Structure 1
Amino acid sequence: MTDATSAPPSAPRRTGLAALELDTRLLGMIGAFVLIALAFHFASDGRFVTPRNLFNLTIQTVSVAIMATGMVFIIVMRHIDLSVGSVLATCSAVMAMTQTMIVPDMLGFGLGSPATAPIAIVMGLVAGAAIGAFHGWLIGYLTIPAFIVTLGGLLIWRNVAWYLTNGQTIGPLDETFQLFGGINGTLGTTWSWIVGLIAVAAALWGLWSARRGKIAHDAPVKPLWAEGVVAAIIAAAILGFVALLNGYTVPSRVLERRFEAEGLTMPEGYVEGYGVPISVLLLIAVAIVMTVIAKKTRFGRYIFATGGNPDAAELSGIDTRMLTVKVFALMGVLCALAALVASARLTNHSNDIGILDELRVIAAAVIGGTALKGGVGTIYGAIIGALIMQSLQSGMAMVGVDAPLQNIVVGGVLVAAVLLDIWYRKRTGARD
């Protein structure tokens, strides 16, 4: 009987870094982010790698990253969605109008009622799913190319959002709704550490379960020292991230107003950190769910099988038309979640919300390693790609780069990322 702490006899002997079995593509993306951060840090006289800037960078990344996870499935199936920014705008408009008109006027609940935010979020999710399913029906059943359907959607839904609000900015939004925006909704330092420790425990349990599963099937496993190094890296990354966000402290004037509102005097030297934003927890939850869908469900296997070879997938009995509807409906739901985060961060709905997000989302997925030929893509890659995109834009804005030049750089990075991905696949012969 094979012990759970020893490698099976069939496991090849590996030494040094090879024993860690690290994902070279993941390391490359992390390395690119580190280089970008350091370059802008020095160029901005030490203002980029600070708790405040990285906190803001994180919450600015969330909405694009959420949509990028869905764009992975779209591109994996050899489609494209150019309408995500406009769908986001429509979902944002629906949620804003629900809070300010539908709930107070039709249901009798005032702004601030506990029911307002949940009803608005559900309405936004339903609107996003319906729009996405409609796109999928046009593509899957009427065989209109996804490029044309979503290009039309880019124009249609942007202007539907305008008509829903009569071109007005709608706000301020419900305070509970604003909790999903970032700085208006955080866990605080204590709960952030608790969540961080829970995340470390979950990660270690996942590593151990994966090792036991490999041993049970006589598959090769890493040496125990290598498992320990990987576990230490993951734990350090999680706790370091929490420490970084906890390091961004609430301005003293904000704390003073809070104490005054409660009739108290703020203690001298009192400091309070923001902690992990609720929007980041939402992104983590989306990433986990999408990863499970991709790797552990029949739905996910069908997506990658269809993208790898659509004809073979259809001949094997996969209903590719309904699968297309489901994937685009899922994309619509993710657009609604992104709308929730984006409008909550702004505390209102504005007509320009989500403009050019479709390009950022596609770029994030591609930079993250999703192959435009289909069949290949990862959720974590898309999220890191979104972080790299936002880092570039935030860093260039910080050092005073003009907006036109920012777009030139982002476009160049996108093309370069595709070229590097082509070279990588040719060199390694890999499909994932």
Structure 2
Amino acid sequence: MVQPETDTAPVPPRKNFIQLLDIDLRLLGMVGAFVVLCIAFDLMTGGRFLTPRNIFNLTIQTVSVAIMATGMVFVIVTRHIDLSVGALLATCSAVMAMTQTDWLPNALGLGLGNPLIPWLTILFGLLVGTLIGAFQGWLVGYLTIPAFIVTLGGLLIWRNVGWYMTSGRTIGPLDSTFEKFGGINGTLGATGSWIVGGLALAGALYGLYAARRNKMRHGFAVKPLWAEGVLASLCSVAILGFVAVLNAYKVPTRRLERMFEEQGLVMPEGFTQSYGIPISVLLLIFIAIGMTIMARRTRFGRYIFATGGNPDAAELSGINTRWLTVKVFALMGALCAISAVVASARLTNHSNDIGTLDELRVIAAAVIGGTALAGGMGTIHGAILGALIMQSLQSGMAMVGVDAPLQNIVVGAVLVLAVLIDIIYRKRTGGA
């Protein structure tokens, strides 16, 4: 006997707490690993790792690598690699150091302290970095020389171009306004930091609201309201907590006294001042937002991921993959120049070893952040988190007293382990 058909619809599987929040498991795992790392180092250092002072230093030390890591995501997504970023940073740093201490004063009579010096310097450094990056992209895209070879040659060439440019000397002091981009010499203070934190929180909450509204408008399933509330609470705690920690780091009393003495004043008794958010961190936030918008909302970003997913199909669909390669490497060069500003400003001078091994740190940050070496996949926020994990690992080991050779061994092992975990994750999720 034939059984009559029923109209009973299949019951959808029940979702767990994480699935209801719709959080990327890879990102959640990275955040969890970062938290465990921080707690472990804090215990091993007797509570010195998670102090406001160390967190402040950790953020300004991460910025330079994190900025370049955002560009490395695009490079790796398009199935290329850039081994020259550390050397290119050194060349851009040398160019900008010579521009503000030698070339501009001699050519235009502009000395240190002139308000045009820092901005002309940065503009010239950006131009040099972009042109060098575009040239390397042209070699890769149009002459079809493998990116590995082009940028390996660039690693050797640009490092020594910077050396000859400065005759092997350390160049300094740099312009005081230029130095504000380095971190401790340029911060927003307590009030400015709370204003920026409030704006960031408002932007994050509006992003959650806009995403929910767009899903509802197109008929997609949305998270329960309580899940949205949990995410909003997590964003609030993360943003405001970060601002509160940085504001808790006070300017040393002796430095405040010198600042008042330079102005011919006497510091009031009991006067304190917070460092707050460094300008370099604010610069990283703006770059991260811009790169994320570029990746998700622009034709350029869509072409990058389409080319990385299937270069042949992308070219057949009308994408000029050669010109796209030039633009990606030019963008990488510009980001190297911005990182050179941050790195040299933090050191308050240009030194010959600036950016040494940064190419490895940048690639490691992008890969640990979930960028697939096979191309086609990667996120900007993942690369920044990867850079933060790398810097936390190195800083923590230094505070514990681990020798430098052993630090490099651990970092190398972590990189290999991160790639292995990523491969296993993609196999289990079907390449998602």
> In the alignment, is residue 215 of structure 1 matched against residue 209 of structure 2?
no
Could you tell me which residue of structure 2 aligns to residue 288 of structure 1? 289
> Structure 1 residue 336: deviation in Å?
0.3
**1:348-387 mapped onto 2 (5 Å cutoff):** 348-387=349-388
> Structure 1 residue 20: deviation in Å?
1.1
Could you tell me which residue of structure 1 aligns to residue 304 of structure 2? 303
> In the alignment, is residue 168 of structure 1 matched against residue 169 of structure 2?
yes
> In the alignment, is residue 318 of structure 1 matched against residue 319 of structure 2?
yes
**Amino acid in the other structure paired with 2:231:** V
Residues 12, 220 of structure 1: 8 Å contact kept: no
Could you tell me which residue of structure 2 aligns to residue 149 of structure 1? 150
> Structure 1 residue 89: deviation in Å?
0.3
| Cα separation, 1, equivalents of 2:98 and 2:262 | 31
Residues 68, 386 of structure 1: 8 Å contact kept: yes
Residue identity over aligned pairs, in percent, reads 73
Residues 308, 375 of structure 1: 8 Å contact kept: yes
> In the alignment, is residue 60 of structure 1 matched against residue 43 of structure 2?
no
Q: Secondary structure at the match of 1:375?
A: coil
| Cα separation, 2, equivalents of 1:128 and 1:176 | 21
**Amino acid in the other structure paired with 1:303:** I
Q: C-alpha deviations, 1:93-132, integer Å up to 9, x for none?
A: 1111110111111111111110000000001000000000
Number of residue pairs the alignment of both structures matches: 421
| Cα separation, 1, equivalents of 2:235 and 2:143 | 46
Could you tell me which residue of structure 2 aligns to residue 399 of structure 1? 400
Residues 178, 344 of structure 1: 8 Å contact kept: yes
| Cα separation, 1, equivalents of 2:15 and 2:47 | 41
> Structure 1 residue 272: deviation in Å?
1.1
| Cα separation, 1, equivalents of 2:357 and 2:261 | 42
**Amino acid in the other structure paired with 1:274:** Y
> Structure 1 residue 215: deviation in Å?
1.2
Instruction: Name whichever of 152-161 and 106-115 sits farther off.
Output: 106-115
| Cα separation, 2, equivalents of 1:348 and 1:284 | 24
| Cα separation, 2, equivalents of 1:410 and 1:195 | 34
| Cα separation, 1, equivalents of 2:25 and 2:157 | 41
Q: C-alpha deviations, 1:195-253, integer Å up to 9, x for none?
A: 10011111111111111111111111111111111111111100000011111110010
**Any gaps of 5 or more consecutive residues in structure 1?**
1-10
**Amino acid in the other structure paired with 2:369:** G
**Amino acid in the other structure paired with 1:325:** V
> Structure 1 residue 14: deviation in Å?
5.2
| Cα separation, 1, equivalents of 2:289 and 2:313 | 29
> Structure 1 residue 17: deviation in Å?
3.7
Could you tell me which residue of structure 2 aligns to residue 4 of structure 1? none
**Amino acid in the other structure paired with 1:185:** G
Q: Secondary structure at the match of 1:256?
A: helix
Could you tell me which residue of structure 2 aligns to residue 205 of structure 1? 206
| Cα separation, 2, equivalents of 1:14 and 1:386 | 32
Q: Provide the aligned C-alpha RMSD in A.
A: 1.2
> Structure 1 residue 427: deviation in Å?
1.1
Could you tell me which residue of structure 2 aligns to residue 231 of structure 1? 232
Change (3 A) 1:213 1:388: same
Residues 365, 385 of structure 1: 8 Å contact kept: yes
| Cα separation, 2, equivalents of 1:85 and 1:53 | 25
| Cα separation, 2, equivalents of 1:29 and 1:69 | 17
| Cα separation, 1, equivalents of 2:13 and 2:176 | 57
> Structure 1 residue 301: deviation in Å?
0.5
**Amino acid in the other structure paired with 1:392:** L
**Amino acid in the other structure paired with 2:66:** A
Q: Secondary structure at the match of 2:205?
A: helix
Q: C-alpha deviations, 1:129-171, integer Å up to 9, x for none?
A: 0000000000000000000000000000000000111111000
**Amino acid in the other structure paired with 1:421:** D
Could you tell me which residue of structure 2 aligns to residue 412 of structure 1? 413
Q: Secondary structure at the match of 1:99?
A: helix
Q: C-alpha deviations, 1:38-86, integer Å up to 9, x for none?
A: 1111111111010000100000000000000000000001100000000
| Cα separation, 2, equivalents of 1:39 and 1:223 | 35
Instruction: Name whichever of 283-292 and 421-430 sits farther off.
Output: 421-430
> In the alignment, is residue 341 of structure 1 matched against residue 323 of structure 2?
no
> Structure 1 residue 12: deviation in Å?
9.5
Q: Secondary structure at the match of 1:209?
A: helix
| Cα separation, 1, equivalents of 2:138 and 2:386 | 29
**Amino acid in the other structure paired with 1:78:** R
> In the alignment, is residue 119 of structure 1 matched against residue 93 of structure 2?
no
Q: Secondary structure at the match of 2:171?
A: coil
| Cα separation, 1, equivalents of 2:112 and 2:268 | 34
> In the alignment, is residue 421 of structure 1 matched against residue 416 of structure 2?
no
| Cα separation, 2, equivalents of 1:92 and 1:104 | 17
Could you tell me which residue of structure 2 aligns to residue 7 of structure 1? none
Change (3 A) 1:389 1:243: same
**Amino acid in the other structure paired with 1:223:** P
Q: C-alpha deviations, 1:303-335, integer Å up to 9, x for none?
A: 000000011111111000000000000000000
Residues 20, 222 of structure 1: 8 Å contact kept: yes
> In the alignment, is residue 332 of structure 1 matched against residue 338 of structure 2?
no
| Cα separation, 2, equivalents of 1:15 and 1:162 | 57
> Structure 1 residue 15: deviation in Å?
6.3
**Amino acid in the other structure paired with 1:201:** A
Instruction: Name whichever of 14-23 and 194-203 sits farther off.
Output: 14-23
Q: C-alpha deviations, 1:263-302, integer Å up to 9, x for none?
A: 3322222221100000000000110010001000010000
> Structure 1 residue 35: deviation in Å?
1.1
Could you tell me which residue of structure 1 aligns to residue 137 of structure 2? 136
**Amino acid in the other structure paired with 1:354:** G
| Cα separation, 2, equivalents of 1:423 and 1:15 | 22
**Any gaps of 5 or more consecutive residues in structure 2?**
1-11
> Structure 1 residue 398: deviation in Å?
0.7
Instruction: Name whichever of 318-327 and 218-227 sits farther off.
Output: 218-227
| Cα separation, 2, equivalents of 1:289 and 1:325 | 19
> Structure 1 residue 16: deviation in Å?
3.6
Could you tell me which residue of structure 1 aligns to residue 70 of structure 2? 69
| Cα separation, 2, equivalents of 1:426 and 1:276 | 40
| Cα separation, 1, equivalents of 2:261 and 2:144 | 62
| Cα separation, 1, equivalents of 2:16 and 2:362 | 39
